Every structure is written in C-alpha cells, then in structure tokens.
Amino acid sequence: MYIVVTGAAGFVGANLVRALNDRGEDRIIAVDNLTKADKFRNLADCEIADYLDKDEFLLRLSAGDFEDDISAILHQGACSDTMEADGRYMMRNNYRYSVTLLDHCQNNDIALLYASSASVYGAGTTFVERREHEAPLNVYGYSKFLFDEYVRRMLPERTAPVVGLRYFNVYGPREQHKGRMASVAYHFFQQYRSDGRVRLFAGSGGYAAGEQRRDFVAVADVAKVNLHFLDHPERSGIFNLGSGRAQTFNEMAAAVVNACRAAEGLPPQALADLVHQGVVEYVEFPSALVGKYQSYTQADLTALRAAGYVAPMASVEEGVAAYVERLMAMPAASD
C-alpha cells in the first residue's frame, strides 16, 4: 500500500515526506506541479516510490489505476498565495481538486488528511472550529473555508477517515522556494544575514509597530500532528493546528537575531536595544494589505487535545533556534 502526499515538493509536503521516511516509510507517491522546477530540491534527500504531476494523478485516480493500492492521501497541494487575484484558478486548484479527492477517498475507503488554513477566520479574534467564527478576507481563505464546509456536510455519513488541519503561521526548513510567501522567520533571517537588520511593519489594526500577533507554529510540529492522525484512523474532524500562543512579530524578530548572534558566539540582546541600534526597523504598512490582514491569531487547541494529541508545541524561541541552526548551514540567499 502507498501513501500519497500531494504538494510533496512544497514546504509542508516535503517535511511530511521526510517525516514518513524517518519512521521507515518509503512507499510514497509524491504528487505536485513542478512548473517551478527548483522545488525538486525539497525532495532530493527523500525516498519516494514515484512522482506524478497533480493533473496526471487525478486522471489516473479516476481511471482506477491505483485500485486498492493507496491507504492514505496527505493532501497538502494548494495555491497558498493570499494575494492571488484569479478566483477561478484558486477555486479550481484549491476547492474543486480537493472535492474530487475527498469523494474518491470516501468511495474507496482511503483516509484523507488535508491542509486547511487559519485564514478561514479572517479578522476575527476567536479561533474555534465553528461556523460563527469564520469569515475569510481573501479568495484563498474562502477556497479553504468552502472545502471545510463540504467536509462538515459529509462527516456524519463518512465511510473513511477525513481530517482537516487548519494551519496557522508555519515556519521551518524547506520553505525557501516560496519567495515572498515564505514565513517571516525565513525573511527575517535572510534580511539579517544580508543587511544586518530586519524590517517589520509599522503599527496597524490598532497594534503598535511590530506588535501584531500571530500563532507561529514550527513545521516539525505540523508533521507530528499529521502523523498522529495517520496513526489514528478512528478520529475524524476539522482541527486547529498552531502553537496555541500568540507571539508578536517583535518577538519573532528578536528570536531570529538572537539565534544568529548565538551562532556567532554573541550574547542575546533585548528588543529595545535592537531597535535603538537599528537592527530592528519598521516600514510603512502596505496599502494593498489594508482590510486583508490578520493582525492577531491564536489557535484554540481544545479540539486537537481532545482528539488525543497531547505533545507540547514549540515556542517561537525554541522553534526559531532550531530553524536558524539549519539555515546557518545553507549558502546565503537573496531575500
């Protein structure tokens, strides 16, 4: 039996392939769209059984080519660009593709674990997996929300496990191909390495400069939660996947800079000192993001914990220290 990972050459997908490898799984079918060919590097140190383009995979799946050969699909493939303006593309790629996979999985007793997103909550401040708290701000968030709604309607009559995981702000290894959509941890590291300073947004949404707050979650924790549900097919539903903490962009910047300083044998510095020295600076909030920006997120993990996942989540300081150690070993890259 094979495990399929869609978006396998992407950020979370590649980390899932690696995590599966680390526990001895190599019967993996990697599915992706390598129009951006450089993503292949994310899989270069991984073991897979086969690679298929995402459109070819769907055609072969519907043709019955994998009858009784697939035990689970870890569906991570999506357009994650929150600034994407082509709604038809977004809905076709994110929503309709996911519906087709889900229907096939339900009809063939295949577990489906898929990536949802905290973007479904929009500008709200309550992050609980219930409809009244969901109001996406862009078509990306809407595509994720709409599929969650489709899943909710079929859950009472499901014939195979289905788990949606609402990722909050994920950071960690194998995201360098994402460009401007990479995490702030990655961008802060690249800025500090090339310029000796990091740039944060000025105040917005009622928050002071750099005090906007996000739930930053390490990709290692994201992989662990996915594997937990893969190991417990008796559990289905939609769950938040974050650290459960709201930490500021200032805290993230200080964590990145101080992790770099530690690697250089230098002591940590307080945020106020970093600002005074110009190591942390603030830039004007982009007009294109006004009304489309989440200034605060914090995952409510009550449902996840009730589903049996009890391991602690890394804080920004813990996760960034490990991430920067990995990044320091890589060649310098432009931001």
Tokens of 115: 């990536």
- At 126, the amino acid letter reads T
pLDDT of residue 87: 86
pTM here is: 0.94
User: Phi/psi class of residue 210: alpha, beta or left (left: φ > 0; alpha: ψ in -120 to 50)?
Assistant: left
Q: How far apart are CA 259 and CA 43, in angstroms?
A: 27
Contact 128, 302 (CB under 8 A): yes
pLDDT of residue 86: 81
pLDDT of residue 330: 77
For residue range 261-288, list pLDDT tens digits in order.
Answer: 999 999 999 999 999 999 999 999 988 8
pLDDT of residue 331: 65
Instruction: List the chain residues with pLDDT less than 50.
Output: 333-335
pLDDT of residue 232: 98
Catalytic residues: 140, 178
CA angle 91, 94, 97 (to 5 degrees): 95
pLDDT of residue 204: 83
